[in-house]
Amino acid sequence: MKRSAWMLLFLILFVAAQGTGVCQQVFNPQVPFNILYAGGVEHTFIRIEHPQWDAVEFQTTASGGVQLLISLLNGNQLHYLDQEQLVQMRRKFDTSSKSRDYRYAPMKYHSKIEKDGTVGVSFFAETDMGKIEASFSSAGSLKEMNDVTDPFNHAMEVIPVLYLEKTVAGNERTGVLLDGKPLKIRRDYVSFVQGANFGIIFRAEQRKEKLLEFKPGGKNWVGARWVYDVAGNRVTYSIEKEKDSEGFFEVKRLGNMIVQKAWVHPAEKGRQVKRVSTYSLVHDNKEFVIEFERPLFFPAILLENQILRSELGFRAKISDSGWAVTGRVKMASWKEDHRIHTEMEFLPSFPEFLAKRPIYYEVSESKDCYQVTTKEVR
């Protein structure tokens, strides 16, 4: 065989041998939005009349901690936690919004639920905003709610699924003291919840992931592992299970205080995502799930001057709550500067109070870098 023929044969065999590895490496396993689930054991909500504050909330979590949230009239929130280590972790990893300020405060919490369903709660926190004392007394017995509730104008940069199991309104003995002085209560907006579940679709201010390590899986993708750098933190994506009957692999994302799973189908021209879920780090056997009417498509190959558009429905739920939130997703993809760009618009429509919370992303991806930027609402 002539030398030129040997060289051609070697080139063909080399490309064929590299095909699987290169295909796996350039396949980006990410989805462009982060989601969070947090299960609250008990949650008390009190709206107040104050020059800067809109509401005071305090809750216990399945991990045994206590949290205080002060919602300000400008839309920002102060999150007080009774564990200093957790405050540092939240400050480091929660880059989804600049409107949440995490702080430490010692707290005391006590509640009692009588056999007839009536509730009494006492709460104390010594914060840098002052000493906050609150007492809640129920106007009746806990009733089944099992529905989402209106978050008003709090944390407008996210789409929240606030699913409440049992709730009761407060009576006239419910009150809040700030440094010993009573705050005026908006009586129609006082409640206690048993089983307050929070599923949240975050708006990322900016998320840039650069590939650090790649471990190829077998020919069936199982065992593939990607490690990305995200603002100095390591985030790992892995495929640990065989594909399902529709050809989708379960991709697990670990890092940034998030345990997220996505059902992804890799293909030569791009990837499809049909479902995303996350569960609480305290493992209360509940998860927050987002499912799509048909899979989201993120192209890996596009011609110059080509724009790929699609629109589809999405729905969200917390465990067996039933589909509590629905809406549409609009997508447009194009090629620019040797990168594939995809614009995503989450447009919730039900319940109606979520329709004012659209989220816009622009995704830019290449072989070894993946970047998400939030666009301003248009």
Name the nearest CA neighbour of 298 among 254, 335, 261: 335
Would you state the pLDDT for residue 26? 58
Q: How far apart are CA 311 and CA 293, in angstroms?
A: 10
Q: Average pLDDT of 122-137?
A: 96
Q: In sequence order, what DSSP letters do the residues of 137-168 get, joined into one string?
A: EBSS--EEEEEE---TTTTTTSEEEEEEEEEE
Q: What pairing do the DSSP bridges indicate for beta strands 287-299 and 100-104?
A: unpaired
Contacts of 229 (CB under 8 A, 6+ apart): 209, 210, 212, 235
Would you state the pLDDT for residue 16? 35
Angle at 375 between CA 249 and CA 342, to 5 degrees: 40
Mean residue pLDDT of the chain comes to 85
Q: Average pLDDT of 108-136?
A: 96
What is the 3-state composition of the chain as percent helix, strand, coil, each rounded to the nearest 5? 10, 60, 30
Q: Residue 13 above 50 pLDDT? A: no
Is-above-0.75 flag for pTM? yes
Would you state the pLDDT for residue 173? 95
Contacts of 212 (CB under 8 A, 6+ apart): 227, 228, 229, 234
Q: Residue 217 above 90 pLDDT? A: no
Per-domain boundaries in the chain? 36-201
Would you state the pLDDT for residue 8? 41
145-149, 254-258, 304-308, 319-323: range with lowest mean pLDDT: 254-258
Q: How far apart are CA 280 and CA 39, in angstroms?
A: 7
Q: How far apart are CA 54 and CA 221, in angstroms?
A: 50
CB of 264 closer than 8 Å to CB of 249: yes
Q: What is the pLDDT of residues 61-103, one digit of tens each?
A: 777 889 999 999 988 889 999 988 888 877 766 655 566 789 9
